[in-house]
């Protein structure tokens, strides 16, 4: 029997789908304002007072992101198993969102404090780094459950459009978040952007909290806590029986390594290496965000027309070109091109990756494989920033050359990811 595919506008105006997309709008305010823009700016202002210390600041930013990812790796094996046993997603999205918002507000409260010295640093700086790690861990944890909600909102033909809609609205959230900060905080201290971004995240997450419901499902018997880790190991072993999803997990690991690291390090790289002022970088980031919106919408249709495999390769190549332009010492205006290409890749990667997991997962095991997908993604989110931060730390005495070498390492990751992705077959059959 042929599946009925709803028209795009019919999909976009359906309340549960609109609420789902608004959560993308909400959480992108956090990821853009705090992870990409203002936490790196805060650390650079507090630590980087000369070219060498600017590279040390980049190391602090990279390592903080890596620690948050390590925490997620420790708990991610439980998430997918929990979803498959209980069918509950919304409850955990709410829980982790509230934790993320609380930690973000904590960053805003303590960011300007300097009443004592801890490890030779202002205690407010240390607390802000710790709150950032907690906030990003909670943010990433919530997204595991949020992404898994996608499969219940439409059929396989509708999923790419719903995913693209959410991502596009999410990047509109980026613009809204930036303009809100500029309007309300203005020239105030950068740490005030943290509490405002957290509250905006909460406000626009409320529709999903109030409207969306998990599909009815019989709850499975509770099992031992540590069994979740054994289950995720069995999922990994089982994934090897499905070569396509196994290869895609590896491919995504490497491509996401480059993407997550570039997102985290974009602000310090543009300001300390390329030479842009923080205000100019905000404009560059908004331009990149506009291209993210375009990329999310356009590639959702490309995905539907050309298939997920070819679409993912195109996106990876665009990302590699963007990184190469940024890495080479070219005139400053070329960074605008790199930022635009990066924006397209950033917006479209989420559309295609979420869709591919649903397409390649064995029926009834989507949550289990989303858990493994998150595990793969967050493992890469440890390794990428760790490598980047280690390079800038070891080569700090060479100034900006350290960051150029660090960003060049991302191209190697992308190429390796493409090579593994070429082994994927979209029907999930053995290669």
Query: β-strands 121-122, 117-118: how paired?
Result: antiparallel
Q: Is the pLDDT of residue 124 over 80?
A: yes
From the list 358, 351, 355, the residue with the least C-alpha distance to 296 is: 351
- Phi and psi at 423, nearest 5°, equal -85, -10
Spatial distance between the Cα atoms of 305 and 388, rounded to a whole number of angstroms: 36
Residue 46 has pLDDT above 80, yes or no: yes
Residue 227 has pLDDT above 70, yes or no: no
pTM, rounded to two decimals: 0.79
pLDDT higher at 81 or 251: 251
Give the number of C-alpha atoms closer than 13 A to the C-alpha of residue 24, restricted to the C-beta side: 24
Burial bucket for residue 152 (CB in 10 Å: 0-12, 13-18, 19+):
middle
Among all chains, which residue has been given the structure tokens 């909670």?
138
Residue for token pair 């303009």: 179
Q: Is it the case that residue 199 has pLDDT exceeding 90?
A: yes
Helix axes 15-30, 159-184, angle to 10 degrees: 50
Q: Mean per-residue pLDDT for 192-216?
A: 91
Q: pLDDT at residue 243 above 60?
A: yes
Mean pLDDT of the chain: 84
Predicted local confidence at residue 431, as pLDDT: 40
Mean pLDDT of 257-277: 88
What residues does 121 pair with on adjacent strands?
118
Mean pLDDT of 288-312: 84
List of domains in the chain: 16-215+224-421 (1.20.1250.20)
Query: What average pLDDT does range 301-322 have in this prediction?
Result: 89
Kindly tell me if the per-residue pLDDT of 198 is higher than 50. Answer: yes
C-alpha dist (Å) from residue 13 to 9, 304, 339: 6, 20, 31
Other beta carbons within 10 Å of 410 = 28
C-alpha to C-alpha distances, 14 to 90, 125, 154, 220, nearest whole angstrom: 18, 44, 11, 31
């Amino acid at each position: 029997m042929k599946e009925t595919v709803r028209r795009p506008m019919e999909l976009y105006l359906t309340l549960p789908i609109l609420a789902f997309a608004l959560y993308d709008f909400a959480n992108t305010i956090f990821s853009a304002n705090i992870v990409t823009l203002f936490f790196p700016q805060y650390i650079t202002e507090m630590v980087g007072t000369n070219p060498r210390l600017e590279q040390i600041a980049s190391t602090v930013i990279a390592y903080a992101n890596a620690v948050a990812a390590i925490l997620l790796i420790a708990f991610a094996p439980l998430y997918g198993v929990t979803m498959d046993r209980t069918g509950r997603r919304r409850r955990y999205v709410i829980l982790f969102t509230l934790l993320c918002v609380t930690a973000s507000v904590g960053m805003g409260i303590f960011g300007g404090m300097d009443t004592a010295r801890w490890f030779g640093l202002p205690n407010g700086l240390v607390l802000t780094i710790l709150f950032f790690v907690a906030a990003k861990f909670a943010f990433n944890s919530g997204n595991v459950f949020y992404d898994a909600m996608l499969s219940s909102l439409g059929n396989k033909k509708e999923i790419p459009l719903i995913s693209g809609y959410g991502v596009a609205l999410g990047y509109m959230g980026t613009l809204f978040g930036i303009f809100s900060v500029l309007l309300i905080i203005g020239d105030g201290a950068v740490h005030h952007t943290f509490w405002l971004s957290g509250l905006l995240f909460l406000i626009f997450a409320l529709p999903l909290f109030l409207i969306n419901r998990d599909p009815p499902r019989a709850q499975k018997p509770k099992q031992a806590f540590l069994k979740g880790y054994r289950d995720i190991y069995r999922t990994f072993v089982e994934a090897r029986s499905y070569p396509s999803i196994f290869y895609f997990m590896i491919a995504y690991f490497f491509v996401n390594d480059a993407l997550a690291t570039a997102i985290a390090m974009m602000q310090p790289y543009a300001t300390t290496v390329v030479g842009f002022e923080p205000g100019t970088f905000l404009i560059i980031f908004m331009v990149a965000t506009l291209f993210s919106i375009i990329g999310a919408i356009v590639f959702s249709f490309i995905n539907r027309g050309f298939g997920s495999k070819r679409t993912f390769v195109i996106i990876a190549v665009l990302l590699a070109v963007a990184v190469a332009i940024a890495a080479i010492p070219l005139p400053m205006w070329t960074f605008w091109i790199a930022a635009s290409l990066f924006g397209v890749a950033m917006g479209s990667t989420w559309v295609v990756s979420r869709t591919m997991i649903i397409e390649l997962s064995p029926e009834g095991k989507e949550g289990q494989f989303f858990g493994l997908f998150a595990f793969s993604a967050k493992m890469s989110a440890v390794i990428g920033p760790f490598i980047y931060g280690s390079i800038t730390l070891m080569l700090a005495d060479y100034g900006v050359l350290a960051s150029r070498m660090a960003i060049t390492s991302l191209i190697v990751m992308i190429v390796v990811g493409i090579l593994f992705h070429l082994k994927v077959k979209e029907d999930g059959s053995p290669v």
